Structure formats: C-alpha cells, structure tokens
Structure 1
Amino acid sequence: MRQLFLTALLLFQCAVLQAETVKVNKIWVDQSFINLFAGPDEDFERIDVAQRGDWLDLTRQQGNWFQVETREKRHYWISYQQLLGCRTEPDGPLLSSILPKNWFTDLHQLGFGGGVVADSPAIQMSLTRRLNDFLALNGSVAGIGLDTGSAVLYQGGLQIIPLDTESWKTYLEFSGGGYYRSFDDDTIDASHRPHIGIAGAIGYRLGDRFNIVARAQYHSLFKARLNEADNLKGLFFLVEYKF
C-alpha cells in the first residue's frame, strides 16, 4: 500500500511539471479575420470578427472552444482550429507549431483519492485521456486493505460524458480488468480474478486545473472460489489534475 502511494505521488509530480511546458494566455490574430461567436459552438450566433493585429486574452476553455476577451472587455468564443492560426507575439511562431498535437483532444487528467471498497479502506489512482466532448478513456488502480490481507483492483474503461459545463461534470463508465487478492495466512493461495464493472461519477471544477469527484462503482467478479464474494461495491472521492 505504501509503495502504491509513493508511485502515485511521483506520477502526480511529473504531471504537474509537464503541464507547465506550454501556457497561452494572450494571442495575436494573424489571419485576415476570425469569427467571434456568442457561445462555444458554431450553432451560436456569429456576432463579431477579430482582424489581423488584434490582441485577444484567453479567459477560459469549454471543450474544444475558448472564451476570449477583447480590449473593449467584451467576451466571445473561438474554436481550437481558429486558435492555431494565431501567435503569442506579432513576430512569434504560429500556435500550430508550438502547441502539442491535438492540444484539446489529448487532454489528460490524473486523479488520486481515497474511499471504501467492500467495507474496507482503499486508495485509488486514475489516468484519463479525453477523446472528444463526450468520450474519454480511463485506467485506474486501487489498493484495498482487507482484514485478512490486501487486494489490488485494476481496470480500463470507456467514459460517456453527458454533462460537462464550466462548473460540473458527470460521466458513466463501463470497464473491465482484474482483481488480485493476497492473504496474511501463507497457507491460503492468492487469487487473481477478472471482472467487469460500471461506475458513475459527478465532479465539481475548482478553477481550470482541478476537479473534485465523487465516484461510485460496482464490479462483477468471475471464477469465484469458496467463501469469496462475487461482486465488489466501492465509493471514492478523488482530486483530479488536468494537464
């Protein structure tokens, strides 16, 4: 359990360092014009344009769209593709040459927290890769301290995200993986069993980088041995860091 905690802490520190490599807060328009929308989608009304030489401040992000503020303190929205044709300085490189490939769609989140699985204390670490506005891939590992030993629950799954706003996020996850259990009694062999699972979560955003997430999950285990449970229920509270 201690080794799992130290590994999670090291990965979290690496993620923070990586997140600091590219920051864009202000852009200079280097196109004849870019459309400015009333909201984060092309279905919203196009209410103005920014022309070559205009400066725009990036104030926040929602999905594949960015809210910008003009010198007149007016707020509009531009898409990720429009952003790539801008620069950070008039004589600087285009953002398309300095931003990571798929800057939005390759967003990752590293989560760490604690909770309860099968009425026993547990810690969990997760890594999520956002695919688009509605889908994400997730992998996680949890260490569980049992009365008669310990266990590791690991899984990978697909998240469906029906709600993702400035303040709140929810998702439903379908997953599969394994459950490894060891015993304090050396006369009892450890067991390794596959499982399928489902999870639901709700998260609240704390600024641009952090989320607090409450996650409930259920796992159906296969190849049960005598006196072993055939399912696991868990509840976790996680802090997620976006990088």
Structure 2
Amino acid sequence: MSGGTGSGNGNGNGNGSGNVRVLLADDQPLVRSGLRVLMADTPDLEVVGEASNGAEAVRMAAELAPDVVVMDIRMPEMDGIEATRRLTAADGPGGARVLILTTFDEDEHVYGALRAGASGFAVKDMALDDILAAVRVVAAGDALIAPGVTRRLIADFAAGPAPAPERVPAITGREQEVLTLVGRGLSNSEIAQDLFITVATTKSHVARLLTKLDARDRVQLVIKAYEMGLVAPPR
C-alpha cells in the first residue's frame, strides 16, 4: 500500500516458523479463493483457514491461532466490526491482529472498524502486491492506514459533532507538529522530510505520542488525536 502509514513498534509474528499465518474472512468465495491463490505463491504467507462470516472467523481464530485475520466488514450472522471487536478484546479468543479488507467506496464503517481495534484498513481494488504488503505490515505488529482511508476518517470527523472534551496530555510543540502530520496520513519518512528531521527522530516522537495518548498503535493514535481535539479536521 504505497503511501500508507506504519507505527514501527512491532516485534514480528511469533509463530516461530517464519511464515505469517493468515485467516481469510469474507462471505464471497471468489474473494477468498483469489486471496488464497495469491498467498499460495508467496513463500512467507500461509493461509490456515477460511471463514464465510464473522462468527466463523472468531471461532476459527481461537482454533487456528493465525497471526493476521484478513477481514471483510459486510458479512452475514456477525459483521466484521463485531468480529474484530471480539478478536482484539483483551480477554477475547484468538489474539490475532486484524486487517480490514473491504470495498471502500461502498462501506460506511471505516471509523467503526478502526475503533473496534483493527490494525489496518485496506481496500479490495488495491494492487495485489500492496495487499500482501499490508498483511506483512500488520503481522509485524505495525499499524497501517491507506491514505484514502485516512482522508475518509478525517471527513467523518469534519462532518460529525465536535468531540467530547477529554483530559489532554501535555505534548511538546514538535510532537504536535508530528501528530498533525500523522493525522493527515503521512508516513514517518514523509513527516521527516516535511519537518526537516531524521526518520529516527520521527519514530521517537511517534513512540512518545503513543505513550502519552495511551494508544495501542498508529491507527488508535489518529483516532484519539481527533477525539481529544489535538488534531482538527481541515475545513
């Protein structure tokens, strides 16, 4: 996903085999089949199961312990948002990270999916190599938001009511600049170039912001920044 963002705070998948174990959750057999064939030709990715709805995804994640669940949103019985919420709950089954892969232009639930705990959001019309890259990013413990999804998230905040006041942590002027650019969907390298600082310095600022805002990853950091009013949607 060229131009997407990653938090860079992960430690890789922990299955010990070197392969990323993937569970596919989509109610369209053709989509699952296409992804399975695509990943079968990729040495570092292994499809361990397929689910046709969210309930199956939750159950199979508990049984198969995948590293990543590639999750559609609109599915019967249980949608992808509720399934993601259950998979990412502290006491939930599976413990897998979730990459949402859906039809962007038809889906109105970007914010809900990210709030539910998804580590990434990708769209089905992306280049195949970018989808594979997104799976690897999420498996590595990073968070990824496609630039188009970031724009949609910002638009949702701009159109909605003002966020409720929350206790705002003390952040420095430079951290505010970094946070603003993160909220616009810029990558660490793009932020470094914009602010004339090194990528390593950018990563340090992002890491401190994750701690100060008590955010799990970059996706949650963007959400909390808007909720706390630290980043204002463009008018």
Question: Aligning the two structures, in what range does the TM-score lie when normalised by the shorter sequence?
Answer: under 0.3
Q: Tell me the TM-score normalized by structure 1.
A: 0.24
Q: Tell me the TM-score normalized by structure 2.
A: 0.24
Q: Of the two, which has the highest radius of gyration?
A: 1
